[in-house]
Amino acid sequence: MSAVIEVRGLRNQFGRQVVHEALELNLLQGEILGVVGGSGTGKSVLLRTLVGLNRPQAGSVRLFGQDLLALPSGPRQALARRLGVLFQQGALFSSLTVSENIELPLIEHAGLSRPDARRLAALKIALAGLPAAAGAKYPSQLSGGMVKRAALARALALDPAILLLDEPTAGLDPISAAAFDQLLLTLRDALGLTVFMVTHDLDTLHAISDRIAVLAGGRVLVSGQLAEVVATDDPWIRDYFQGPRGRAAAGAQPSTRTPQP
């Protein structure tokens, strides 16, 4: 599989705090990549860098073969529209309904009329597994699971090639989290999406990740399939994947993940 995102020599620094140093990472077309690491390893900073919200001090981010950081503003924004982002808390506009949240990028970036945007928003709401009635509700009227799905519907608004998810199952009960995992698998397979997923959810990692990348010490410590990562001789990896919760996740029902070619 070819790489749709290539990160080389990435350095992110805030004041004296170096978050990433010489970080290297590939995201392969069609895969679900789970990104894990301890607190302060810069998982969310990396995601924000990939979508152009954070400019690093050094290194390159190539998106579909183009250097995102070297492009002029117009082409960079056009390229970034091929990315759909789900932020940890949903980041929905509280003063807009779910439908209006999804319509906004369709009107602002795709130039659709309001009636056309409304019809397409209804399709995205259905794709995210929400009932049609959810479109008229405000974020404050939704459960945590419905907020995640509404944010996912907005991330899908512009038919992105890549989804970037920041803790998509955080705060969800186990049943809702498992349903969300299955939804991601279904969307990946049906729409041909590639998924970059920051998560700490061991059940999600076991259920749907094709590869896992572990951040530590400002870089990617290891990336590969779950068995390769678990076999890595590192104290944090050992505690994370082979601790009580890791063993419980590993002993759960077999993954329903569709193998990638």
Structure confidence by residue, pLDDT tens digits, 80-109: 889 999 987 778 999 999 999 999 999 998
Burial level of 127, CB count in 10 A (0-12/13-18/19+)? middle
What confidence score (pLDDT) does residue 77 get?
A: 85
Q: Are strands 219-224 and 211-216 parallel, antiparallel or unpaired?
A: antiparallel
Q: Is the pLDDT of residue 259 over 60?
A: no
**Per-residue pLDDT, 145:** 87
256, pLDDT greater than 80: no
> What does the pLDDT look like over 119-172, one tens digit per residue?
999 999 999 999 999 999 999 999 988 999 999 999 999 999 999 999 999 888
Quote the pLDDT of residue 254.
53
pLDDT of residue 134: 96
**242 pLDDT above the threshold of 90:** no
**Cα Rg, the chain, nearest whole Å:** 18
User: Once rounded to an integer, what is the mean pLDDT over residues 46-61?
Assistant: 93
Contacts (Cβ under 8 Å, ≥6 apart) of 84: 155, 156, 157, 158, 160, 162, 163, 164
Alpha carbon distance 229, 84 (integer Å) = 27
CB 35 within 8 A of CB 197: yes
- Look at residue 244 and give its three-state secondary structure: helix
Per-residue confidence (pLDDT) for residue 87, from 0 to 100: 86
d(CA 243, CA 245): 6
pLDDT digits (tens, 9 = 90+) for 216-241: 999 999 999 999 999 999 999 999 98
Burial of residue 190, with CB atoms counted within 10 A of its CB: 0-12 exposed, 13-18 middle, 19 or more buried: exposed
Domain assignments of the chain as residue spans, ordered by start:
92-159
